[in-house]
Structure 1
Amino acid sequence: MAWRCSGRTNAELIQNLYTRGLITSPLVRDAMSSVDRAHYCPSSPNAAYEDSPQPIGFGATISAPHMHASACESLLPFMPEGKGAKVLDIGSGSGYLTHVLANIVCGADGKGDGKVVGIDHIKGLTDMARQNMQRSKEGRLLLETGKVELITGDGRKGYAEGGPYHAIHVGAAAKEMHQSLIEQLERPGRMFIPVEDEDGWGSQWIWVVDKDKDGKVSRKKDMGVRYVPLTDAPT
């Protein structure tokens, strides 16, 4: 059903996702509606409003909008608007979801209390994400106020300096459930992460990892997916 959600404009794309139940929260709908996906699809702006992954260069892709919606919906209970939530977006790529997550925790006007850190192992993508966010006044404000921070680093290790995080999104498939990321979760906190299955067939699954207020960790296997791998930067 997801492919039927493609639109001719950003507004039509997001409304289709909402109408067909792939977005259920008005907050997620509004956060995604206020970020023009075409600003974050530099290699294929004509296909920006398709509900499908798109190349962004450096062998990376921007995920399909319905997957970004699923991540936001899953993490939403841990990202209250204007309450100082800290979010880590690993594999931030062209910066799209980083901006959407900032809209959720800081509000559409960017004035609420919250912080999102986007980390990618490819400097060219980090630079691109910064340029993309500067294409809108809202994105510029988030960067200027430090409510969005974009850094280059090994996302498999997280970014302990900015943690602990109420929500962690991982946008590439990990080979394992990295303990360092679980350790950087707040109490309570949630991580949305695709992990390669151990069956040897190359399958991947979304795992939702929760840490409660006492530090107890639980894991739930959610849905099968197909992501690019979470690896070292190319040499």
Structure 2
Amino acid sequence: MAWHCNGTTNQEMVTKLKDAGILATDRAEAAMLAVDRAKYCHEPDPYLDRPRRIGYNVTISAPHMHAYALSILSDQLFDGAKALDVGSGSGYLSACMAFLVGSGGRVVGIEHIPELIEISTRNVREDNSHFLKEDRIKFVVGDGRLGHPADGPYNAIHVGAAAETLPETLIDQLAPGGRLICPVVAIKGFQRLQDLLQVDKSTDGAITKKKLMQVSYVPLTDPTTQLRN
């Protein structure tokens, strides 16, 4: 289903993602229509369905992965919700999440490279400046593996890089009824793969985990290792 939803405009890209069944909720569709990928991907043909480099050895994910993430988290990104985007990169998915949580919600994008914080803030300012003015989105410098407890707990947490093991610290920062999605390294025989895991916290605090699909993300690591790779 994935990797073929290329578009020449944001509308065409979103339509193809919907037609393919990847963009599975009306709310996720509305978010991707409201946030123009071209403002976050500053290369030719920004609506191609593939990851693109944004500097500092990180990428903006392919549109189909953003569509999956927003569809999976739609119910948790309700009006007034709190969300955390770990490895926020260009700021694109953080902005989509900010659209969904509304002016009464708050999205925190966390990155350990200060320059990426500057880039993402500038991108949002050029695309949906009211998200910043309303304080419904902010970007912070920090180790995303540790989350950002100061603004938690979170109804939705998205991790945009592959962790060696599922970060328990992030699960601790989920609110009751919250959902986390995170790529996690999986060793199968001689292969090093990645599984996209969904973690749900029930209203009584019980945790359930589910494998959704195999994916391919850059590693969730420290700044020195990232810049060296």
| TM-score when normalising by structure 1 | 0.92
Residue of structure 1 aligned with 2:178, choices 179, 189, 200? 189
Residue of structure 2 aligned with 1:165, choices 143, 147, 154? 154
In structure 2, what is the Cα distance between the partners aligned to 1:222 and 1:5? 20
Q: Secondary structure at the match of 1:69?
A: helix
Residue of structure 2 aligned with 1:222, choices 212, 218, 223? 212
Q: Which runs of 5+ in 2 are unaligned?
A: none
Deviations 1:207-230 (A, max 9, x none): 000000000001001100000000
Q: Secondary structure at the match of 1:177?
A: coil
What value does the CA root-mean-square deviation take over the aligned residues? 1.1
2:107 is equivalent to residue 116 of structure 1 = yes
Contact 2:3/2:64, CA 8 A, preserved across alignment: no
Partner of 2:98: 102
* Correspondence 1:7-22 to 2 at 5 A: 7-22=7-22
2:87 is equivalent to residue 91 of structure 1 = yes
Contact 1:47/1:54, CA 8 A, preserved across alignment: no
Runs of 4+ in structure 1 off by over 3 angstroms are: none
1:3 offset after TM fit, Å?
2.8
User: Identity, % of aligned pairs?
Assistant: 44
Residue of structure 1 aligned with 2:199, choices 173, 188, 209? 209
Partner of 1:69: 67
Q: Which runs of 5+ in 1 are unaligned?
A: 107-111
In structure 2, what is the Cα distance between the partners aligned to 1:183 and 1:24? 28
1:160 offset after TM fit, Å?
0.5
| TM-score when normalising by structure 2 | 0.95
1:198 offset after TM fit, Å?
3.5
In structure 1, what is the Cα distance between the partners aligned to 2:195 and 2:147? 20
Partner of 1:56: 54
Aligned pairs, number: 224
2:29 is equivalent to residue 38 of structure 1 = no
In structure 2, what is the Cα distance between the partners aligned to 1:197 and 1:3? 22
In structure 1, what is the Cα distance between the partners aligned to 2:8 and 2:77? 30
